[in-house]
Amino acid sequence: MFSQWLEPLPLIAILRGLRPQEAVAVGSAIADAGFRMLEVPLNSPQPLESIRLLADALGDRCLIGAGTVLHADAVAEVAAAGGRLIVMPHADTAVIAAACRAGLFCVPGVSTPTEAFAALRAGAHALKAFPAELVTPSVLRAWRAILPPELALLPVGGISPENMDGYRRAGASGFGIGSALYAPGRSVADVADAARAFASAWTSCNQP
């Protein structure tokens, strides 16, 4: 079940621009900070090779997959590389259906309740509230009132350790973390520091 990957730290690392030669070092640093979900966007250099390397090195303790999956035919390629997670910026039901048929978890991006319910009907396992700059905490709170209470809502876009608490109080189940965590050229040590900062912020915003 997808819910098992949300414990104890429901943060997805978005590794846009990751190169295969740094994949294991970067992924390991993030996993060591407690992250259990890593995605390599398909517009990164040689993304399938990075996914393969991450799956081989970390697949026993992390859910590895692809982001920016725009077309259904990409799902089979991700699965062949060892990926088990499909993350999308949109709610294309053909991609969602392809992921479900392949036995992969799917987290499509939605920005309206109409998209959210269509994605759920197609089989989405969780929803990426994207972009979070548009889906503000007040909007997310309104969504939470109508969507299934057990559904994981994961805001993505502009998330920082400082703004996580507001989204969490509005009903966010976790987050996708992109350039504030990893960007091309950032050292492994800097990535590790950022990963620990996000993990600490999540713990803090769950304190009573």
Residues known to be catalytic: 39, 128
Structure tokens at 132: 């979070």
| Residue 87, H or E segment | strand 85-87
Contact (CB, 8 A) for 183 and 17 = yes
Contact (CB, 8 A) for 12 and 36 = no
Contact (CB, 8 A) for 96 and 124 = yes
- In angstroms, how far is CA 197 from the centroid of its own chain? 17
